Amino acid sequence: MHSDDVPGVSVDDELAALSEFALLRENARSIGLTGDLPPVSRVSVTTADGKVSALRWGAGTPRLVFLHGGGQNAHTWDSAILATGLPAVAVDLPGHGHSSWRADRDYMPWSNARTLTPVLEQLAPDADLVVGMSLGGLTALRLTAVAPHLARRLMMIDVTPSVTRRQSAMSDVNRGTTVLVGGQRVFPDFGSMFEHTVRSAPGRDREHLRRGVLHNARRLPDGSWTWRYDELSGADFEPLWADVDTLSIPTTLVVGGASRFVGDDDIAQFRRRLPAIDIRVVERAGHSVQSDAPEFLAQIILDALTG
């Protein structure tokens, strides 16, 4: 029954009550999948830094681990995971999604990797590949240093340790939805929150954006809406190039062809430090390759597992 048929029930009421898994059929249709969906459930692990929540996909032992970018959540991987067809764990980073917020608001790769180590030891100790985008990519890189037993292969999506320097020179238009992080926090209703997001990504599909905002929003007691992530601050990630120097596992760097977060000089530095790195450019994809081209990313992931 739709809210229009129920006196006193608003669209915002309906959206706030929507199950987080109710939209998966839309994800499947968007990439041309039919048939039964794989089982997916929300799980959590309590750590010294608070609860870490995650989505467990499939019935088998997880082969893939996914770490999202700053201001995102585990559902950003829904379509890509469906396209791979493999059992996986997608984590809500600390301060994001359904994971706990930290009192010190330290959501940097160094602290994230320490926090996630016991989580992945419990949820995905034998995963073949850790995939991370943006902040999640840098967290995955750091994870290879502090918990090498959890990272047999590494895939970083549209990020290098030089991302802060590069982002500081970008316009708001080129930054896309990343401009939302650090921007307006509270909106009077879901519609205004959604339209605010659309304005930051005018070329993106509205239905796809709507799913993303629904997963990334929560309703406050007064009826207004806010983001599911804590306030984030920037940092200098350049020291993480030292972790690149220590990499001894198969590593892939995926670059959005329409993104400016990774430049030619960043790629050249990666090649100097890690000559065996596999560079994949996904044409017409922006910073969030998993959102813009989930089928292409899924194929790159499958290639990495067999390469």
Catalytic residue among 128, 158, 243, 292, which?
158
The percentage of the chain sitting over the pLDDT mark of 90, rounded to a whole number, equals: 80
Nearest-angstrom CA–CA distance, 59 and 132: 22
Cβ-Cβ contacts under 8 Å for 247 (sequence gap 6 or more): 144, 154, 274
DSSP-derived letter for residue 238 is G
Q: How far is CA 141 from CA 127, 229, 251, 252, 261, in A?
A: 15, 22, 10, 11, 17
Catalytic residue among 79, 100, 134, 291, which?
134
In this prediction, residues 102-106 reach a mean pLDDT of 94
Host H or E run for residue 157: strand 154-157
Host H or E run for residue 266: helix 264-273
What sign for the dihedral angle of Cα 245, 247, 250, 252? negative
Catalytic residue among 68, 75, 215, 287, which?
287
Q: How far is CA 176 from CA 172, 180, 187, 234, in A?
A: 6, 8, 19, 16
For the chain, the average pLDDT equals: 92
In this prediction, residues 57-82 reach a mean pLDDT of 97
Q: How far is CA 292 from CA 40, 176, 297, in A?
A: 22, 12, 9
Residue 172: predicted pLDDT: 63
Give 2's pLDDT tier (boundaries 50, 70, 90): very low
Of 276 and 7, the one with more pLDDT: 276
> Does 120 score more than 80 pLDDT?
yes
Task: Show the DSSP H helices in 8-125 as ranges.
Answer: 11-17, 24-30, 78-84, 109-123
- For residue 30, indicate whether it is catalytic: no
Delimit the domains of the chain by residue range. 3-306
What sign for the dihedral angle of Cα 45, 48, 52, 56? negative
Give 13's pLDDT tier (boundaries 50, 70, 90): confident
Query: What is the CATH T-level fold of the domain 3-306, as seen in this structure?
Result: Rossmann fold (3.40.50)
Nearest-angstrom CA–CA distance, 130 and 141: 9
- For residue 19, indicate whether it is catalytic: no
Give 6's pLDDT tier (boundaries 50, 70, 90): very low
Look-up of token digits 């129920």? 6
- For residue 196, indicate whether it is catalytic: no
- Reported pTM: 0.93
> Does 85 score more than 90 pLDDT?
yes
